[in-house]
Amino acid sequence: MNHLLETAEKIRTMEIRGAGRIATSAAFALREYAETLKAESMEQFDSMIADAANILIDTRPTAVSLPNAVRLTTKYTASTVEDARQEIINNASRFIKQADEALEKIGTIGARRIHEGDLIMTHCNSHAALSVITTAFEQGKNISVIATETRPRKQGLLTIKHLNDFGIPTTLIVDSAARYFMKYVDNVIVGADAIAVNGALVNKIGTSQLALAAHEARVNFLAAAETYKFSPNTILGELIKIEERSIDEVIEPRELENLQNVIVKNPAFDITPPEYIDLIITDGGALPPGMAYTVIKEHLGWELKDLV
Amino acid sequence: MNHLLETAEKIRTMEIRGAGRIATSAAFALREYAETLKAESMEQFDSMIADAANILIDTRPTAVSLPNAVRLTTKYTASTVEDARQEIINNASRFIKQADEALEKIGTIGARRIHEGDLIMTHCNSHAALSVITTAFEQGKNISVIATETRPRKQGLLTIKHLNDFGIPTTLIVDSAARYFMKYVDNVIVGADAIAVNGALVNKIGTSQLALAAHEARVNFLAAAETYKFSPNTILGELIKIEERSIDEVIEPRELENLQNVIVKNPAFDITPPEYIDLIITDGGALPPGMAYTVIKEHLGWELKDLV
Amino acid sequence: MNHLLETAEKIRTMEIRGAGRIATSAAFALREYAETLKAESMEQFDSMIADAANILIDTRPTAVSLPNAVRLTTKYTASTVEDARQEIINNASRFIKQADEALEKIGTIGARRIHEGDLIMTHCNSHAALSVITTAFEQGKNISVIATETRPRKQGLLTIKHLNDFGIPTTLIVDSAARYFMKYVDNVIVGADAIAVNGALVNKIGTSQLALAAHEARVNFLAAAETYKFSPNTILGELIKIEERSIDEVIEPRELENLQNVIVKNPAFDITPPEYIDLIITDGGALPPGMAYTVIKEHLGWELKDLV
Amino acid sequence: MNHLLETAEKIRTMEIRGAGRIATSAAFALREYAETLKAESMEQFDSMIADAANILIDTRPTAVSLPNAVRLTTKYTASTVEDARQEIINNASRFIKQADEALEKIGTIGARRIHEGDLIMTHCNSHAALSVITTAFEQGKNISVIATETRPRKQGLLTIKHLNDFGIPTTLIVDSAARYFMKYVDNVIVGADAIAVNGALVNKIGTSQLALAAHEARVNFLAAAETYKFSPNTILGELIKIEERSIDEVIEPRELENLQNVIVKNPAFDITPPEYIDLIITDGGALPPGMAYTVIKEHLGWELKDLV
Amino acid sequence: MNHLLETAEKIRTMEIRGAGRIATSAAFALREYAETLKAESMEQFDSMIADAANILIDTRPTAVSLPNAVRLTTKYTASTVEDARQEIINNASRFIKQADEALEKIGTIGARRIHEGDLIMTHCNSHAALSVITTAFEQGKNISVIATETRPRKQGLLTIKHLNDFGIPTTLIVDSAARYFMKYVDNVIVGADAIAVNGALVNKIGTSQLALAAHEARVNFLAAAETYKFSPNTILGELIKIEERSIDEVIEPRELENLQNVIVKNPAFDITPPEYIDLIITDGGALPPGMAYTVIKEHLGWELKDLV
Amino acid sequence: MNHLLETAEKIRTMEIRGAGRIATSAAFALREYAETLKAESMEQFDSMIADAANILIDTRPTAVSLPNAVRLTTKYTASTVEDARQEIINNASRFIKQADEALEKIGTIGARRIHEGDLIMTHCNSHAALSVITTAFEQGKNISVIATETRPRKQGLLTIKHLNDFGIPTTLIVDSAARYFMKYVDNVIVGADAIAVNGALVNKIGTSQLALAAHEARVNFLAAAETYKFSPNTILGELIKIEERSIDEVIEPRELENLQNVIVKNPAFDITPPEYIDLIITDGGALPPGMAYTVIKEHLGWELKDLV
């Protein structure tokens, strides 16, 4: 239980962060807990596992990948403690393996959508989106990329370094210039922080502007998202919370001194409506946004009826 | 002639810059030149004025306000040197006066479009757009403003200071967050670098993204533009040139070292199509973009037939 | 002066109402005043006419047709009292004659847009719109009409009676059913309370919903408007005021008793944006909404420069 | 059988009406019938139940909830009469319970979509839509509502009374004013008479105009619908029939006397296309319209293959 | 094996062509092969069937119906050779029967969407689309058709002959005239070469232009597609290959002589995005395009998880 | 008068055809008539010229260029026969000269809109559109063209020959493939048969489909039109008549034998709404479609007031 509590604490304090790391850490912790726990009856086992699951989930109630990892790991049908224990261990291992392989699968599936000569625009610094781009490039496709700066944290600078290392011709622009260049673009590819049940995409602030400009110009808009990014709670009407981050990211505090009528807003994400998304590239296939529930059900094991 | 040549040189070297300053400096120079020149015949006078006009226009062939100022100043119907001289002097004075009063007129006309309680979004740091906002506020309307940062040069920081000084509640956001906040906005108001004959707006990079997001959300989009910003040459099919500015504005050069596959693009302006613009507020009235030619004709004195 | 003051009073108290009646009454009053006034100098004449004009205009500052009638009537170039007097008399007579003939001209011009077999939808009870419909029918075109009820005042019932008298097959529907029937419609034709300089149409509440539904279904949307309905003041940024009418039109007061949390809103008009209007049929021709300024200038005699 | 026949008759004569009451009455009748019927073999039981089911379904072939209730109730897998009888009894009880709880679940799920300070527009008088609104209000959210009158039957008057009783600030408007107020609205919430397999919404006439105006202004449009409102027959290409109601609802018959060229059309419902619907709030979760088949399958138990 | 190899060869050489004929020929060949093959163990049987399946699939890797037919036929759960053999025989027979009946089912389901008096537009010469039209006509619905010529191969001429034989009033137009007539059309119905997982329709070049024009005019757009036309591979991100056909179809080669700067492009198909498609009529029901995966899963037996 | 009557007869019998040839022939005929006519008074002269003008105009009442040519030629202000005669002669000569130079001016103005590397799509075989393309190419811009076949008369084959002679890389496609290639296109450029007062473009059937597809993909759409193509009569509400051409152009008559249920429709033109047109390139400048009236007034000399 110690390791599980430690993991829970690290997730709570955000020492462990990022949808992927949170998810695999939770699966690790549950696997270790299952391996060592002592239960005298199936009832006790059930209850201990349920407690452990809740401890983890409660650490960050709004994290999308956490309940997915916990549920997939703690789902068992066995009727003896030993069998159930083994089932959980297997579940955890399978989940971790799939999470590890997700980026590669997304790269392989997404790269099939990229044509020779394509100009691709990307935003922020998404491993999943970059996996699609670099996989296509390594298949020998002669492509180039426009990367947005992505204020306020300028993750675009990480992106251009990554693409430069692969030798992919890349152009850096400010976020405001996205529409200016959009009509020359063949595909926009971005990552995802979460996908809601209606296929809406929660991603880095500015994503929805790119999607709108792509839609205006009949440019394909692809989101690359690991299946554990799909949010079952949205079926319950739950809105995905948009984090408001420190205003220091936007402006140096001293510049605000004496500006008593000025405030700063710094939402970390925005929401791209499904009608602007052509396809979501997941490790479970390339799907239209309207199929989000199918992923939640077939990949994550949540049923409509269980939830309500 | 010396003052005129000096002015021409300053325009050429961009010591004098900004559409308004270029225009009034040219009118000043022509007035002084007209006041002092010595011509023995009307023919000589005509030719000297024509030469002076061309010297000025040739300094920055793509500046929009320059030919407007020169044409309005050097148009005369008199048949004697003294009368023509006086006509030019009067023209120049009138042009300078109108240019000086333009911001105030724009403020007065535009403020009529602002309702009590409006939330206004603005981009960059346009004197004309700010004149509308502050005039409405000084009329006692209880309004507030969202100002975009406006990368790469962050003119939004000037804007929030200006609005703060007036006591107007203002929120600063990064450019990427414009669509996120758009649905709460009542009016978007921006300035203009130039207006083409079809009503297309040339303005700070990012303007067209704001216009697109406003259009998507049925939010009014207003451009504030002095009449001398309207571009007669576009009637000839001339495209307004989009300036490509230094990449140092976007990224520190040392960050690009060793990134041999990366380039930076930094267009200063973009073009907002007329269908996204509800009204252009000028010192000559509030007009739909389709009336751009009317401004060019009635305010700037260019006729369709003269041009072709 | 007595007649003019009486007319002014009647306009102020809304004994005289309706854009057409207000306009012609003002022209009548000014004609009579001009016929009888005694002035000893041109200066005195100028000042007396200006005073009379202002008295009329001030009675209903937001009426659109009033300043148009006054300006067209009181514009003179003569330099003697008698000549100026005659000019005003002629102006008034011409204005009254044109206003009288406007409906017929609109009918003739508009009927050219109607094809054999057309199904036409109309809203409220506009004489101008009905003139187009009945003219087309009397030309032998086999047409039929859908008339909306037009809550709250149910002017649609007047419309169906009018059309019935002409023998035109007519269907009455509630306002909410407009989109349901829209896809079978060939032309929507409505009247106008005012036209703004950008071509926006101010008309009976519900008009903009019809226009939106017509636009969605690629159905032509025509507005029929006398030229004196065009609003010069909108060039100054002036918004056309939307009248809020008595809530008794919407609900019987006793039904609101004890509903202390309920209020009623009853705006009389709404604003249809120009992009949903295919053509405005005026007594001065069939024009796209973007040409509103041309009507203001060529028919009503206002210049951009005069106004600002 | 008597009770079942009585129920059938009441449904046929519309003494029992409304999707919810029809559905639960049918389930009641089938439960009572199952409790008391005498069958000597499984074959006889099967045939008697099938007959009873058909009697009910045939009473109103176009009612959407009826076949759903009958199918869910009469689905059994048991192989003995007693077991099957019990299964039907359980099915009926569960269906009735779920139908009873549906409004509350819809309220809970839908209220999660409502933010503090939201202005909500609703049309007609839907219990499901009102459940969302009042639940959100009772959670302490400071919201207000615009209710449309909903001609011809003015169900909006019921709605304002209901909302008034809860203390919710409410504004009544005529149907034509919906677009006028739309840009200030945060969410439109309406009920449903039926949902087709493609997610199209059949609801009170005027709903599709609201949806269109919401779409134009980027306002969320939510439909609240019990799962039994989803129509399995639409998978077979069946169109949902739009009831044409008495014209007396629209106009007093005496007003039509002598209007021999006038007819009245009074369709009760219209169809809102799925692209204008953001989410359907059901007792089975908040779903995008494209997931309608999932509800039909997972909640109502119909399979694509069974149907064709 | 001989028959299977012959069939494979005929598919490869396109002696057997057309999605339906390819699919049923493959099922036939597998049935015959299963009937006669000799296997000494289940392992041997499995391996022989797998080999046979691969031989067929490899003949035309991009044919959509081929893997569907092979998979549906070769799926068995039996554990003895004889049982498995029988299962395959049954699978094949069922597949062939369903394929044979598909057109009739599509006709029946689709005809329910056709109203009395409808004007239908169709493109190319699709048996499935024509089945909908002729079924509706034979049900006594008074309909008429606009058929496009369908350059370059003018399959429209086959269509008008087919419709003429049924006695259906038909109008032939060139492809360019589709938008001109669109506003009078009630339904556009076309066939399908393939349906991708996101509901995108691959069909004869020009289909997407029709869909766009229908969307612009709020005209229903229906695609008629046998379930075996749905493409499972698109879940893997696979793009459906657009065949480039001989330029001789477009222009006689001698006309190109001496035109050294001219080339000809002749893509056989284009892709209609799902947002322009109202419903896909299949032998498995009438479905929105977003349900394409459901068909792939429930009718064709592919699971998301199997594929990736 | 003989030459004038001959010309009239040739226009009537369509021996003289094409907007340009009709217009210049009429101007020629009027010039010759003016040169030789004998009038004893100004009244007689006026009446003879008016008769001659009417004879010409009546030959083809729907030709757009004919009234323009006649009006521009027969407009005089002189008060003596000799002066008026000279004025007409000068008018005719100027009109003919301008018509001759129009294509070159259109080429010069339009070419400014073409960028290095542009891919241009064109439809049919318009001299004006081709003038823009070839002028840009001869200025050294490296451009290429997609030409549509343009059924039924395949004028695209003339276009590819013309472009081939200039050495411009050209691709021929069938009309149906326009949307397929549209997203790679930078500019669509077409000619015009007529321009209505609202800026609507009457041009070869299929043009509006191209415009729609360009609009969908944010591709510029330019129409090239001589000023004499603008139609003053549309101000009167007159619709431009769409010619229905011989069905032999579409299908060989023998193919229709025995197809008694089939008819053929062959409209020669369609109408492109102004919202899909970015700019109209005329010999009088590059104008947005909303400026059509300005051309009618400033270039063709028609005033709103004269017409009604």
What pLDDT shows up at residue E298?
86
pLDDT tens-place string over residues F14-56: 899 888 899 999 999 999 999 999 999 999 999 999 999 999 9
Select from C95, C59, C29 the least CA-distant residue to C300: C95
Q: What is the pLDDT of residue A298?
A: 87
| B121 plus B246 within the same structural domain | yes
Terminal-residue alpha carbon distance, chain B: 31
Identify from F287, F293, F295 which residue to disrupt to test chain B contact, counting B C-beta atoms within 10 A and taking the largest count.
Answer: F287
Three-state SS annotation for chain C: CHHHHHHHHHHHCCCCCCHHHHHHHHHHHHHHHHHHCCCCCHHHHHHHHHHHHHHHHHHCCCCCHHHHHHHHHCCCCCCCHHHHHHHHHHHHHHHHHHHHHHHHHHHHHHHCCCCCCCEEEECCCCHHHHHHHHHHHHCCCCCEEEEECCCCCCCHHHHHHHHHHHCCCEEEECHHHHHHHHCCCCEEEECCCEECCCCCEEEECCHHHHHHHHHHCCCEEEEECCHHHECHHHHHCCCCCCCECCHHHCCCHHHHCCCCCEEECCECEEEECHHHCCEEEECCEEECHHHHHHHHHHCCCCCHHHHC
For position E185, what pLDDT does the model report? 97
SS3 category, A143: coil
Residues 6+ apart with CB under 8 A from C103: C127, C128, C131, C226, C283
Burial C17-29 (b: 16+ CB within 10 A, else e): eebbebbbbbbbb
Q: Estimate to the nearest angstrom the gap between the alpha carbon of B163 and the chain centroid.
A: 20
Q: What 8-state DSSP symbol labels residue D249?
A: G
Whether C278 is catalytic: no
Residue B237, token pair as written in the block: 């099919």
The continuous run of DSSP H or E covering A264 comes out as strand A262-264
The answer to whether C172 contacts chain D (CB < 8 Å) is yes
**pLDDT at position A61:** 78
Q: Are A278 and A220 spatial neighbours (Cβ–Cβ below 8 Å)?
A: yes
User: Is the omega angle on the peptide bond into residue A152 within 30 degrees of 0, that is, cis?
Assistant: yes
Name the band, by pLDDT with cuts 50, 70 and 90, for residue F308: low
Query: Looking at the structure, do residues A42 and A118 belong to the same domain, yes or no?
Result: no
Q: Is the pLDDT of residue E229 over 60?
A: yes
Tens of pLDDT along D22-77?
999 999 999 999 999 999 999 999 999 999 999 999 998 778 899 999 999 999 99
Average pLDDT for F139-158: 97
Give me B70's structure tokens: 């020169």
Under-70 pLDDT residues of chain A: 304-308
A14 touches chain D (CB under 8 A): no
Q: To probe the interface with F, which of C189, C291, C297 has the most F CB atoms within 10 Å?
A: C291
Burial A287-302 (b: 16+ CB within 10 A, else e): bbbbbbbbbbbbbbeb
- Expressed as residue numbers, the domain containing C298 is 106-306
**Residue A308's pLDDT is what?**
57
Write out chain E residues lying below 8 Å of D308, CB-based. Answer: 105, 109, 283-285
| Whether D98 and D114 share a structural domain | no
Tell me which chain C residues have a C-beta less than 8 angstroms from the C-beta of E183: 218-219
* φ, ψ (nearest 5 deg) of residue E80: -120, 155
Whether the link from the prior residue into F289 is cis, omega within 30° of 0, is no
- Decide which of D105, D130, D162 is a domain's last residue: D105
Same domain, E136 and E99: no
Q: Say whether both C24 and C123 belong to one domain.
A: no
The 10s digit of each residue's pLDDT in C162-211 is 999 999 999 999 999 999 999 999 999 999 999 999 999 999 999 999 99
From the list B118, B124, B278, B283, the catalytic residue is B124
Q: What is the pLDDT of residue D228?
A: 95
Determine the pLDDT at residue C45. 96
For residues C176 and C58, membership in a common domain is answered with no
Rg (C-alpha) for chain B, rounded Å, is 21
Q: In Å, how far is D132's CA from the nearest CA of chain E?
A: 28
- Rounded distance, CA A171 to CA A177, Å? 12
Last residue of a domain, one of A90, A105, A120: A105
A and B adjacent (3 or more CB pairs under 8 angstroms) = yes
Contact B287 C239 (CB under 8 A): no
Q: Is the peptide bond before F152 cis (omega within 30 degrees of 0)?
A: yes
Shortest Cα distance, chain E CAs vs residue A5, angstroms: 33
- Cross-chain residue pair E250–F173, CB shorter than 8 Å: yes
Q: In terms of domains, do B97 and B154 share one?
A: no
SS3 E31: helix
- Given a contact cutoff of 8 angstroms between Cβ atoms, the answer to whether B110 and B132 are in contact is yes
Cβ separation B111–C293 shorter than 8 A: no
Among partner residues B112, B294, B299, which is closest to C236 by beta-carbon distance? B112
Condensed to tens digits (0 to 9), the pLDDT of residues A4-38 reads 999 999 999 989 988 899 999 999 999 999 999 99
pLDDT at residue E308, rounded to an integer: 56
Would you call E116 an interface residue with chain D, using a CB distance cutoff of 8 Å? no
Per-residue pLDDT tens digits of chain D, which is 308 residues long: 789 999 999 999 989 988 899 999 999 999 999 999 999 999 999 999 999 999 999 998 778 899 999 999 999 999 999 999 999 999 999 999 999 999 999 999 999 999 999 999 999 999 999 999 999 999 999 999 999 999 999 999 999 999 999 999 999 999 999 999 999 999 999 999 999 999 999 999 999 999 999 999 999 999 999 999 999 989 988 888 898 999 999 999 999 999 999 999 999 999 999 999 999 999 999 999 999 998 998 888 887 666 65
| Residues E215 and E101 both lie in one domain | no
Q: Determine whether A244 is exposed, middle or buried from the number of CB atoms within 10 Å of its CB (0-12, 13-18, 19+).
A: exposed
Among all residues of A, which ones are annotated catalytic?
124, 193
Q: What are phi and psi of C170, to 5 degrees?
A: -135, 140
Q: How far is CA C109 from the centre of its chain?
A: 17
Chains E and B physically touch (3 or more Cβ atom pairs below 8 Å): no
The alpha-carbon gap from D288 to the nearest alpha carbon of chain A, in Å, equals 5
- Residue D154 makes CB contacts below 8 A (sequence gap 6+) with none
Tell me whether 0.90 is exceeded by the ipTM: yes
| Last residue of one domain, picked from the residues B105, B127, B158 | B105
pLDDT tens digit string along F167-207?
A: 999 999 999 999 999 999 999 999 999 999 999 999 999 99
Q: How far apart are CA F296 and CA D162, in angstroms?
A: 60
Q: How many domains does chain C have?
A: 2
Residues 6+ apart with CB under 8 A from C21: none
Confidence of residue B17 (pLDDT cuts 50, 70, 90): confident
Q: How many CB pairs under 8 A join A and D?
A: 57
Please tell me which residue of chain D has the smallest CA distance to A304.
Answer: D284
Return the H-helix or E-strand segment holding D240. none
CATH classification of the domain holding A164: 3.40.50.10470
So what's the pLDDT on residue A169? Answer: 98
Lowest mean pLDDT among B151-155, D294-298, E280-284: D294-298
pLDDT of residue A142: 97
With bands split at pLDDT 50, 70 and 90, how would you rate the model's confidence at C18? confident
Q: Are residues F158 and F262 in the same domain?
A: yes
User: CA F29, CA F9: separation in Å to the nearest integer?
Assistant: 12
What is the C-alpha separation between C86 and C81, in angstroms, rounded?
9
| Candidate from A281-290, B293-302, C29-38 with smallest mean pLDDT | B293-302
Q: Give the pLDDT confidence of B27-85 residue by residue, as tens digits.
A: 999 999 999 999 999 999 999 999 999 999 999 877 889 999 999 999 999 999 999 99
User: What is the identity of the amino acid at F87?
Assistant: E
Euclidean distance between CA atoms A237 and D110, whole angstroms: 6
Predicted pLDDT at A192: 96
Whichever domain contains E41, its CATH number is 1.20.120.420
Task: State yes or no: pLDDT of F126 exceeds 90.
Answer: yes
Looking at the fold, whether A256 and A111 belong to one and the same domain comes out as yes
pLDDT at B60: 86
F265: which chain E residues are within 8 Å (Cβ-Cβ)?
Answer: 171-173, 177, 181
Whether pLDDT at B3 is above 70: yes
Phi-psi region of A258 (alpha: psi -120 to 50; beta: other; left: phi over 0): left
Q: How many CA atoms lie within 13 A of F100 on its CB side?
A: 9
Q: Are residues D132 and D248 in the same domain?
A: yes
Q: With contact defined as beta carbons under 8 Å apart, do F148 and F137 qualify?
A: no
In this structure, are B28 and B78 located in the same domain? yes
Q: Which tokens belong to C19? A: 């854009």
Is F281's Cβ below 8 Å from some Cβ in B? yes
CB contact under 8 A, D299 and A303: no
pLDDT, position E305: 66
Residue F193 annotated in active site: yes
Q: Collapse the DSSP code of F279 into the 3-class scheme (helix H, G, I; strand E, B; otherwise coil) and give the result.
A: strand
Q: Inter-chain contact C216–E218, Cβ cutoff 8 Å?
A: yes
Query: Which band of pLDDT confidence, cut at 50, 70 and 90, is reported for residue C302?
Result: confident
Asked if C287's CB is within 8 angstroms of F237's CB, the reply is: no
Cβ within 8 Å, pair F177-E213: no
Name the band, by pLDDT with cuts 50, 70 and 90, for residue F158. very high
Among the listed residues F124, F165, F283, F306, the single catalytic one is F124
Q: How far apart are the first and last CA of chain D?
A: 31
Indicate if the pLDDT at residue B307 is higher than 90. no
Q: How many residues does chain D have?
A: 308
pLDDT for the residue numbered A302: 81
Tell me D190's DSSP state: E
Condensed to tens digits (0 to 9), the pLDDT of residues E57-66 reads 999 877 889 9
